[in-house]
Structure 1
Amino acid sequence: MEQKSNKTTVAEFYKRIVGQRDSSLINQYVHEHYIPHSPMGRDGRESLFEMIEFLKTLPPPAETKSPVKRLIGDGELVIIQLDISFMGKRMVVIDLFRVADGLLAEHWDAVQEIAAENDLMTDGALIINSYADTDANQLLVSNFYRDVFENHDTRLLNSYLTTDYIEHNLAERLDDYYHHSIKVHRIICEGDFVVVQSEYLKDSQSFALYDILRIENEKIAEHWSVQQAIPDVMPHTNGML
């Protein structure tokens, strides 16, 4: 039997466990030594059982369409971007999973409310160009963060962007970043999509920041992002990043 891809495993987890609220399947999809980095739950796999049991207490979502906007895989790491309605609010969620031996072994996330004036946060290109040069695109983004944000050379910003560059997060644009400090943790790439996980220090507050960048003709053509403040106290010792 052909082994499932890591992206398929993550997609099935959302559909069968989160979407259908079936906690009985958690052990089939999640490693017994699962490591959560989310500030919303306790350590270990039990946090997922608690989450699903909580979801069962809420009314089912009115919309039946999938909340998944983008699914990007790079080896053992899988990024999923979701556009969801939750407790009266519209939220954009980024989840990052590390998959080991076909099971979800580690998880990071960030959640941000989509304000009415910023309702295009998840719009834009959806299809990954599998023919794009993944390694070259990953290097391009790595150089971009080094040159513009680490070295604070704002003169180079536009040289990395296409002339028709599209910004999807009007509340936190790429060109706002160089005013603050960014420490990159991971760069994940599939085809023409590159995801950067970083710690963003703004006004003495640290944020978990996830940027999705689409590359076109060796330049950045589109940008999506999600950020969430890192709390001083978390229900585990794994950290948010």
Structure 2
Amino acid sequence: MELSNKDKAAAIQNSIETSTLEETGLIHPTSYKQHNPNVETGLQAILALHDQMPMHKVYTNVVRQFQDGDYGFVHIDYFLFDYTAAFDIHRFENGVSVEHWDNLQINPRKLNKSGRTMTDGKTKAIDHHKTDSNKKIAQDFVQNILIDGNLGDISKYFDGDRLIQHNPHMGDGVKEFIDVLSEWEKEGKPQKYTQIHKVLGEGNFVLVLSEGYLGGEHSAFYDLYRIEEDKIVEHWDVIEAIPEPDRRKNTNGKF
């Protein structure tokens, strides 16, 4: 039986630890479009990168795996060159990955204010019949609140103050989320979202890929939301700086 797209995405990322990427046959050997700006495009560039990793330390732990049509996307606890939390996305054609996006952030490996890590929490999708409506809720939240700044509407997206938070710099709660963003603004290192690029979902889990600035640094925001009864109840994120064009190793764009 052929693997699902989410199982294929997980298998590709797990093959880093076992050094079996080429053997999996899950990446197109000649047509593999890379959106990680720090890696050249194509399969051979990935294999060359793996050769540079400290393999005695490398591990991959796929914590969550989902799919949305031709896309498989996974949430991972890694050691690559350092302890890392990441999202990886693969687009499949004819059974193999032909395009890849990711976002990586150094994992402090400490508990946040509410005793949570960057990757713990619920892992299994439910409410598959509500995938489209849940994607709309998450997209509308990012656009209306984080981009347009309509904080007066924030109660539409949450059940009171309930928000399970995995960002390492915040604790649980909607008020805490708003307070921290306000504090960062006052400190001159605001988190600003400017554009949504992609929304992927399976059931009650939705991943939103956005562009913006963190403390003035051009950044990519990957936000994963878990939704219950039309309200956001849990949030994970990975934030990564986007290098200037002259420092990028491919011309495919981050998104």
Structure 2 partner of 1:91: 84
Long gaps (5+) in structure 1: none
The answer to whether the Cα contact below 8 Å between 2:193 and 2:210 also exists between their aligned partners in 1 is no
Instruction: Kindly report the root-mean-square deviation, in angstroms, between the aligned alpha carbons of the 2 structures.
Output: 2.3
CA separation in 2, counterparts of 1:117 and 1:157? 26
Structure 2 partner of 1:190: 202
The answer to whether the Cα contact below 8 Å between 2:12 and 2:21 also exists between their aligned partners in 1 is no
Q: How does 1:111-126 map to 2 (within 5 A)?
A: 111-115=104-108, 116-118=110-112, 120-126=117-123
The answer to whether the Cα contact below 8 Å between 1:23 and 1:52 also exists between their aligned partners in 2 is no
Q: Name which of 100, 105, 108 aligns with 1:107.
A: 100
Equivalenced residue count is: 233
CA separation in 2, counterparts of 1:146 and 1:209? 13
Structure 1 stretches of 4+ moved >3 Å: 172-175
Q: Name which of 116, 132, 148 aligns with 2:145.
A: 148
CA separation in 2, counterparts of 1:216 and 1:75? 22
Q: How does 1:8-87 map to 2 (within 5 A)?
A: 8-15=7-14, 17-25=15-23, 28-31=25-28, 32-55=30-53, 58-61=55-58, 67-87=61-81
User: CA offsets per residue over residues 26-62 of structure 1, 9 Å max, x none?
Assistant: 6x2111210111123212221111123223x53154x
Structure 2 partner of 1:235: 249
Percent identical: 26
Choose between structure 1 and 2: higher strand proportion: 1
Residue 124 of structure 2 aligns to which amino acid in structure 1?
A: I
Q: Which moved more, 1:111-120 or 1:147-156?
A: 111-120
CA separation in 2, counterparts of 1:92 and 1:187? 19
CA separation in 2, counterparts of 1:4 and 1:143? 32
* SS of residue in 2 equivalent to 1:209: strand
- Using a 3 Å threshold, how does the CA distance of structure 1 residues 131 and 180 change in structure 2: closer, same or farther? closer
TM-score normalised according to structure 1 size:
0.87
Residue 103 of structure 2 aligns to which amino acid in structure 1?
A: A
- Using a 3 Å threshold, how does the CA distance of structure 1 residues 23 and 191 change in structure 2: closer, same or farther? closer
Post-superposition offset of 1:191 = 0.3
Long gaps (5+) in structure 2: 171-175, 183-189
The answer to whether the Cα contact below 8 Å between 1:22 and 1:52 also exists between their aligned partners in 2 is no
- Using a 3 Å threshold, how does the CA distance of structure 1 residues 124 and 24 change in structure 2: closer, same or farther? closer
The answer to whether the Cα contact below 8 Å between 2:209 and 2:221 also exists between their aligned partners in 1 is yes
Post-superposition offset of 1:204 = 3.2
